[in-house]
Amino acid sequence: MKRGRSSLLLAILLFSFFLAARGSPVASAASPAFKFAAGGDHSQDINTNSSLHRLASSGVNLYLALGDMSYRSSGDEDVWCGIVKSYVGASFPFVLVSGFHEDGVEASIDNGGLIDDFVNCLPDRLGSTGVYGKEFYFDYPFSNPLARIIMISPELNFTNGGYYSYDVGSSHYEWLSRTIDAARVSGIPWVIVGMAKACISAGKYPTCPAGTDVMNLMIQKKVDLVLQAHDHNYQRSKQLTCAMVEQFVGSCVANDGLSGTYSKGAGTTFVISGTFGEEFYPINSTNPNALYFASLAGKNTSGLGHGFLEVTVTPNEIQAHTDFSGTFSDSFRIVTGGALRAAGNVIFVLLFLVPIMAWVTAFSIKRWKRRLLFTGDYRVKAR
């Protein structure tokens, strides 16, 4: 009888672990992964140095600089690049895309310099395709890539290169559309877009300086994650299937993001991380755009510090968290159906095992008490 109960318990345990293992065929400690950071509005002061120090010790594989580098005049680009390299090293992939402070036309070259000169002193380290610093992409890792990272420059007007319009039908719009589609055809699991200007924002720039067409395209193409800056604050959106500027549409929200977990393919998540070094802008919680966001922090938010967003990419999941100098923090994840099933199976197994283990424990205690009574107390009383 005793042997029969032990065999039954062993069979139940083995079956439970089999169910858990089936949920995610690639979920293991050996799964490939990489980690990157992203931020914008860098400046050149003590806050910049603090963020560079954090970046150097973060262990990330690369950094996406989402525009607005030094805020200094043309001719000073080498100095800023030298400061960056003094922290992260000369060969670290410090990936640049222009903000409006570097385009040379929208902002004076005396208020930011030129992206062309920043690119000269912090060149492409990842074999990118396109015009590095303005409109390009790279797949990472190089072998069996997990993500295509696309960097674009909506509504920037370059001294060298002209105006980058991403309106429907424009050459830049078509380039972005083809580049996203090609990643899907190639079977690359994740598509991530980085850019300086945002569209929906609850900060200083709520009226879509990037243009609605490019936002709608990325949502339509189900880009997994869009990283932006320009607004000097932190904003994480809900998962969106559409959006209207300064007009909240509840039906556009696929996931309110309050749990911190999004399902891949259900919509697009936008993050504004303009927090690297420049002075913060406030959040306007009364603007209708604020309703599109799950997490907001600005100048008027207690505990917000300078820093950046860290993102870990695996075949089944994107995990992201802020790395800020203050007490404010935020984190979220985007998971595939396989990862969700694995988590559900683990919970199922735990719920299934709890009553069994409770019964086994109670049964063992009862047997132990009987044995103690027979071998100890009973014999004492018998004397």
pLDDT in tens, 312-325: 999 999 999 999 99
Q: Is the pLDDT of residue 357 over 80?
A: no
pLDDT for 346 beyond 70? no
- Strand 293-297 with 94-97, pairing: unpaired
Q: What is the mean pLDDT of residues 3-15?
A: 48
Please state which of the four CATH numbers 3.60.21.10, 1.10.10.410, 3.40.190.10, 3.10.129.10 is assigned to the domain occupying 33-335. 3.60.21.10
Per residue in 253-262, pLDDT (tens digit) is: 999 999 999 9
* Average pLDDT score, the chain: 87
| 337 compared with 48, residue with greater pLDDT | 48
Cis omega (within 30 of 0) for bond into 25: no
Higher-pLDDT residue of 146, 28? 146
Q: Which of 14-23, 191-200, 357-366 shows the lowest per-residue confidence on average (mean pLDDT)?
A: 14-23
Reported pTM: 0.83
pLDDT at site 31: 64
**pLDDT given at position 110:** 83
Q: Which residue has the tokens 């570097």?
A: 102
Q: Where are the domains positioned within the chain?
A: 2-21+342-382, 33-335
Which residues are CB-contacts of 101 (< 8 A; sequence separation ≥ 6)? 67, 68, 69, 71, 107, 111, 112, 113
Neighbours of 110 (CB within 10 A): 11
Using one digit for the tens of pLDDT, what is the confidence trace for 181-221?
Answer: 999 999 999 999 999 999 999 999 999 999 999 999 999 99
Which residues of the chain form beta strands (DSSP E)? Answer: 34-39, 62-66, 94-97, 129-131, 135-140, 147-151, 156-158, 162-164, 190-194, 225-228, 234-237, 239-240, 253-255, 261-263, 269-273, 293-297, 307-313, 317-324, 331-335
| C-beta atoms surrounding 163 within 10 Å | 14
What pLDDT score was predicted for residue 109? 84
Rounded to the nearest 10 degrees, the angle between the axes of helix 171-185 and helix 212-220 is 20
82-112 residue pLDDT tens: 999 999 999 999 999 999 999 999 988 888 9
**Residue, of 58 and 371, whose pLDDT is higher:** 58
